[in-house]
Structure 1
Amino acid sequence: MNSTKKTVGPLTTAQQLVGIIKSARDIMRKDKGLNGDADRLPMLTWIMFLKFLDDIETVRETEATLSGKRFKHAIEAPYRWRDWATKADGITGDELIAFINQDEATRPDGTRGAGLFAYLKNLQGTDSHDRRDTIAAVFRGTVNRMISGYLLRDVINKLESVHFNSTEELHVLSRTYESMLKEMRDASGDAGEFYTPRPVVRLMVELTDPRLGETILDPACGTGGFLVEAYSHLEKQCRTVKDRKTLQQASIQGCEAKPLPYLLVNMNLLLHGLESPDIDPGNALRFPLKEIGDAQRVDLILTNPPFGGEEERGILGNFPEDKQAAETTLLFMQLIMRKLKRKSKPGRAAVVVPNGTLFGDGVCARIKQELLTEFSLHTIVRLPNGVFAPYTGIPTNLLFFERGGPTKEVWYYEQPLPEGRKNYSKTRPLQYEEFTPLIEWWKSREENDLAWKVPAAELLANNCNLDRKNPNGKENITHLPPEQLVENILAKERRIIDIMTRVQALLKEPV
């Protein structure tokens, strides 16, 4: 009887790394302190974050020694990864948990001092782009949720075999990390609020075409999809050491107020090659609009601001009285308009907005009036239903505009669903290739079955209603999804409240 043995060849780098990450996640599943991927991914992230920093600093330290320069670590002993994590039989169990969690603990060198997280949270940088400020901001919003120090030691030992100073491994890890981010979004419903489908992100970057030397901002960056794509787009333009320095230090900016996505965006950018991410951990809306000057303006804004959120009264006070709105999207629109450069080459923006922004009146109409009269709103791409499924069913649009108005005409492009499809879903999402006709049309700007233009004067005369149907398309009846019907009703209710509030204020004025 003949038998054949299956020959298994050596694992590729990708297979090895995927195996390491899978093993670490499997270990985490045994820990009673973690509940699903929404807990496991942040744990993996902060551990990889510290390993990444130590690997990079080891490289920089060697480079400095060879050139006769002094090197200063962002994290000092005994808090560096090499001091407490590298030895497989090192600090473990309750001692490891105490060292990480407690404000004061016995450190790996046997002395008493601040615990690991307490130390990291209090790091302070001495200049801009100082990695210590980023580390402090990351760990001020990070919690170690693992209960078993023995399981945590096993996870650390697994991740010790990852080499963040290897270009090949970094490339694989960045892809693996993005797939984990998507898994977390799928597993946690509210995580979808900072998710934009990658094909939409790629399209917006492709059409705005960031150039090296420009500053690119996402004021609501979530896990960093727009910033990662913009970074990759700019990286292809680097030819010299000076280009590299420009890319690393003066190109990418973000803002993310929530601790979890703040941690995730920093790791995402680090894995893709940005060594010191410039991400503001505060609310982008916290500054008075009138105080934002030329020094704070940027060349390009790419963003998907939160839909349907509400801001506190203190934030509303940062905006003009006649443009204060509870709807977060409208506040971000004003911030974006204010933050675009107005000197030399005008700043430009690509923004995802819900349908309600197009037809909204009251405060919304006043913002759109400013957009049409002081900016050039040159293109609105109408996305088909379900692009953001399963996170939201609200129809969405892409606004492309720049400083240097007024707007003369607005081009509309209606992105169709693939033939035979009624919607998108988690299992059958939008594909980037579907945008090929749009990308080709973008350069020629000719009317067709999917594209048409409307004079700005006509839009202004119609209370700035931008919700225009395709005059060239086939006649059909549009059945709005329940979420959009609710949004339409809420928009009208907000308009009624706005009017009644003004009437009430008038009645209180002395005669």
Structure 2
Amino acid sequence: MSNTTQNTEEIVLEDNQILCVLTGEAKKTSSKEENLQSTIRMLNEEYGFDLSDMERDFTITFIDPETGKNKKQKVELVIFDKATHHVQENIIRIATVQDDKTKDNDKKKGVRMTLENAMAALDQCEFGLWTNGIDIKYLQREDDDFGFDYKFSDLSDIPGFGEDLNDLERPERSHSRKPANDSLIKVFRRSHDYIYGNEGRKKDAFWQLLYLIFCKLYDEKRRFTDHEKGISYRKKFWVGVKEQNTNEGRKAVADRIKSLFDELKKDNIFSGVFDGNESIDLTDKGLAFIAGELAKYSFLDATVDVKGLAYETIVSNTLKQEAGQFFTPRNIVRAMVEMLNPNENTRVLDPACGSGGFLVMVLDHVRKKIAAEMYPELDEVLITEKYNSYEVNERVRQYAENSIFGFDFDPDLKKAARMNMVMAGDGHANIFHVNSLAYPNWEHPQEIEKIKQAIEKSLNTMQDITNNYTPDARAKFDMVFTNPPFGTKVKVDKEIAERYYLSRFSDAPEVLFIEACYDFLKEGGKMAIVLPDGILGNPNTLPVREWILDKFKILASVDLAVEAFLPQVGVQASLLFLEKKTENQRNLVHDGGEDYEVFMAIAEKLGKDRRGVPIYVRDEDGAEILFESEKKYLAYNEQGKTYVKSRKEKIKMLDDDLPKIIAAYNEFLK
């Protein structure tokens, strides 16, 4: 829940340097340095400790109990009691940070030699963490009753600013952490790798993790459903800080969460996602570990970008990019949605929805509009807190339930898309397992019937009777967003292809999808589609272009750099924005009258290189430029009330032309 404003003061950084968010100094880029920066941001934004109370690379001194001599140890990050002198006696938290190749049991750099050693020397410091950027270990130092000896206990988390261990033990904590920067991606990866490596479940690690994410979201959503029913909400998805350390504790966690899973499978939000015979098959130890990882964060309150990226990271690693299936990068999805600008009255379809990226972005776009309309007096960070308020959520839920539709040929991706919509804070979207090119004929008549019922319900709710020309989904949508499957690997059944006029010129799926999208749109409806450049440039596809010009008004065309879909697939593609002509408009053209301007742009930079590595804005000499910025975020005071905090930092900016193209298109429309 943060907001970053920038000014244009430029600072130049060498290629192998990274800027420390704590000191503002340039540091040599390394895995360890990047992990340290991530840890600083996490402890600042998620745990609420001020940067002014932190110090990096702090040397502590202690007496070696064996030799009686003074020894020194450098600790990567220490946190002092608020507004006190930065001396060893005032340290209340420490973080020892290693590179991502170091294991937690390493003899020199592992938990024991770094974190335990340092905590043993610090009388006031009860809590600490060790991380290699992937794994993270939390420890508590406990003194015995007489103060002569101590032991270390593993924890599932450590207290943040103004908290103690009792706060973490209460299931009804006033707030959960909102994941900052890459925390959620790391949690998902860590959890997936744990199941894959420690539970012997290589084939279904993804689904086992997904079931637990489902449970977490379902438990959070009960905040709203219990509110509606007038019953007091009691959280079930929680893990006591030491529950993972005993067999009894692990069993208690497992029992709680398995009962939650049985409950959610019967809930109408998840109907169509589960067959009912699914089960969580992890060991109690594994389940308690993953639950401890997931329980730290509030998923509903995390931004859609944070959740979407974390989710797609594990989906893309699992449901591999089979025949023509790959994820549309988020900056491209955002550009397409922002340029067409849907609102609460827009019925939307993605006929090749994959894991639901376009649908989630539409939902987020409309959510922001709803919140801005309901709370016009709030700006910047404060309005983000309202995105998941009961009032906003209720309108968002109704919008998704009535107006967002997704079709996909792959039943696993249908599940993944439903899940993605639940993560976006809704779960009620109409996502169906159907071949869009075969629609309305499909060998699953029950799925066709469900689509028909959903469309009828949507038309009735939105009182959209003027568009009820067909008894199905055709000619019903205000907007279509899609990245259809394309390429020589994807074959369309001859019988299906022949239904389309454009099959006379090409049987490529991307060509047939243009016509299918036309059929799904109302007159005056708009679409944004990703198309390979061949359709727009090859001489042999001229009849296809002529058909497009006859049927549509061209709103905009954005040529994408070849890096757009790399490293997944190398294809030169464009974004085409079209509006379905009315019969009158087409007749006017045939009578010789059509003259309009088309917005055209080339996105030469898309924020990443061919390997998918981010690229940043550089100066004329090729050095990366840093921009002064103010990062604002919500924090909690000791009474659990929110307030806005900010920190000044210098950041690199992605070299991405799409935000400029969106702004230019909005100017063009004016």
Instruction: Give yes or no for TM over 0.5.
Output: yes
Q: Distance in 1 between matches of 2:505 and 2:217?
A: 43
For 2:207, give the aligned amino acid.
Answer: P
Q: CA deviation at 1:262?
A: 1.9
Q: CA deviation at 1:172?
A: 6.4
Of 169-178 and 189-198, deviating more is: 169-178
2:403 alignment partner in structure 1? 251
Shift in alpha-carbon separation, 1:243–1:223, aligned structure 2, 3 A: same
For 2:520, give the aligned amino acid.
Answer: K
Structure 1 residues 119-148: Cα deviation after superposition (integer angstroms, max 9, x where no partner): 96xx7x9xxxx5353234xx49x987x9xx
1:284 alignment partner in structure 2? 436
1:89 alignment partner in structure 2? 251
Q: Is the 8 A contact 2:525 2:580 kept in 1?
A: yes
Q: 1:327 aligned to 496, 501, 508, which one?
A: 508
Q: Distance in 2 between matches of 1:321 and 1:232?
A: 34
Shift in alpha-carbon separation, 1:173–1:332, aligned structure 2, 3 A: closer
Shift in alpha-carbon separation, 1:18–1:54, aligned structure 2, 3 A: same
Instruction: Report 1:214-253 matches (<5 A).
Output: 214-238=346-370, 239=373, 241=391, 243-244=395-396, 246-253=398-405
Q: TM-score, normalised by structure 2?
A: 0.49
Shift in alpha-carbon separation, 1:222–1:422, aligned structure 2, 3 A: closer
Larger radius of gyration: 2
Q: Secondary structure at the match of 2:302?
A: helix
Q: Which runs of 5+ in 2 are unaligned?
A: 1-69, 73-87, 95-126, 128-157, 161-176, 233-247, 375-390, 442-468, 587-593, 617-653
Q: CA deviation at 1:254?
A: 1.0
Structure 1 residues 28-61: Cα deviation after superposition (integer angstroms, max 9, x where no partner): 12233316xxx53333113322443355347524
1:370 alignment partner in structure 2? 547
Q: CA deviation at 1:321?
A: 7.9
Shift in alpha-carbon separation, 1:402–1:116, aligned structure 2, 3 A: same
1:502 alignment partner in structure 2? none
Q: Distance in 2 between matches of 1:63 and 1:422?
A: 45
Q: 1:206 aligned to 333, 338, 359, which one?
A: 338
Structure 1 residues 217-275: Cα deviation after superposition (integer angstroms, max 9, x where no partner): 11111112111111111001214557445423223211122133222221111111123
2:600 alignment partner in structure 1? 413
Q: Is the 8 A contact 1:385 1:423 kept in 2?
A: no
2:571 alignment partner in structure 1? 394
Q: Is the 8 A contact 1:376 1:403 kept in 2?
A: yes
Instruction: Report 1:40-439 matches (<5 A).
Output: 40-57=205-222, 59-61=224-226, 63-66=228-231, 88-89=250-251, 130-131=268-269, 133-136=271-274, 139=275, 149=281, 151-161=282-292, 170-171=301-302, 175-176=306-307, 178-182=309-313, 184-185=315-316, 190=321, 193-238=325-370, 239=373, 241=391, 243-244=395-396, 246-288=398-440, 296-308=475-487, 309-320=490-501, 323=504, 325-342=506-523, 346-360=524-538, 364-404=541-581, 405-406=585-586, 408-409=595-596, 411=598, 413-418=600-605, 424-428=610-614, 431=654, 433-439=656-662
Shift in alpha-carbon separation, 1:416–1:160, aligned structure 2, 3 A: closer
For 1:368, give the aligned amino acid.
Answer: R
Of 12-21 and 272-281, deviating more is: 12-21
Q: CA deviation at 1:317?
A: 4.3
Q: Is the 8 A contact 2:339 2:666 kept in 1?
A: no
Q: Is the 8 A contact 1:352 1:399 kept in 2?
A: yes
Task: Say whether 1:34 aligns with 2:202.
Answer: yes
Q: Is the 8 A contact 1:310 1:328 kept in 2?
A: yes
Shift in alpha-carbon separation, 1:245–1:223, aligned structure 2, 3 A: closer
Q: Distance in 2 between matches of 1:321 and 1:354?
A: 16
Q: Distance in 1 between matches of 2:499 and 2:215?
A: 37
Structure 1 residues 192-229: Cα deviation after superposition (integer angstroms, max 9, x where no partner): 82301111111111111111211121111111211111
Q: Distance in 2 between matches of 1:254 and 1:388?
A: 22
Q: Distance in 2 between matches of 1:158 and 1:177?
A: 23
Q: CA deviation at 1:160?
A: 4.0
Q: Secondary structure at the match of 1:233?
A: helix
Q: Is the 8 A contact 2:343 2:366 kept in 1?
A: yes
Q: Distance in 1 between matches of 2:352 and 2:609?
A: 27
Shift in alpha-carbon separation, 1:392–1:245, aligned structure 2, 3 A: closer
Task: Say whether 1:442 aligns with 2:580.
Answer: no
Q: Which runs of 5+ in 1 are unaligned?
A: 68-85, 97-106, 109-114, 447-511
Q: CA deviation at 1:180?
A: 4.5
Shift in alpha-carbon separation, 1:396–1:21, aligned structure 2, 3 A: closer
Q: Distance in 2 between matches of 1:203 and 1:177?
A: 16
Shift in alpha-carbon separation, 1:314–1:30, aligned structure 2, 3 A: farther
For 2:348, give the aligned amino acid.
Answer: I
RMSD of Structure 2 on Structure 1 (CA): 4.4
Q: Is the 8 A contact 1:301 1:350 kept in 2?
A: yes
Higher relative contact order (CA closer than 8 Å, sequence separation 6+): 2
Structure 1 residues 50-80: Cα deviation after superposition (integer angstroms, max 9, x where no partner): 443355347524531449xxxxxxxxxxxxx
For 2:527, give the aligned amino acid.
Answer: A
Of 367-376 and 285-294, deviating more is: 285-294
Instruction: Report 1:468-487 matches (<5 A).
Output: none
Structure 1 residues 357-416: Cα deviation after superposition (integer angstroms, max 9, x where no partner): 113466x44443232112101321111222111111110011111022556456363425
Shift in alpha-carbon separation, 1:296–1:24, aligned structure 2, 3 A: same
Q: Distance in 1 between matches of 2:271 and 2:483?
A: 26
Which structure has the highest helix share of the two?
1
1:24 alignment partner in structure 2? 191
Shift in alpha-carbon separation, 1:156–1:394, aligned structure 2, 3 A: same
Shift in alpha-carbon separation, 1:61–1:373, aligned structure 2, 3 A: same
Shift in alpha-carbon separation, 1:292–1:195, aligned structure 2, 3 A: farther
Q: Distance in 2 between matches of 1:426 and 1:271?
A: 25
Q: Is the 8 A contact 2:206 2:314 kept in 1?
A: no
Shift in alpha-carbon separation, 1:408–1:45, aligned structure 2, 3 A: farther
Shift in alpha-carbon separation, 1:17–1:395, aligned structure 2, 3 A: closer
Q: Secondary structure at the match of 2:562?
A: coil
Q: Distance in 2 between matches of 1:382 and 1:246?
A: 36
Q: Is the 8 A contact 1:255 1:281 kept in 2?
A: yes
1:76 alignment partner in structure 2? none
Q: CA deviation at 1:174?
A: 6.9
Q: Is the 8 A contact 1:323 1:367 kept in 2?
A: no
Q: Distance in 2 between matches of 1:292 and 1:359?
A: 37
Shift in alpha-carbon separation, 1:351–1:17, aligned structure 2, 3 A: closer
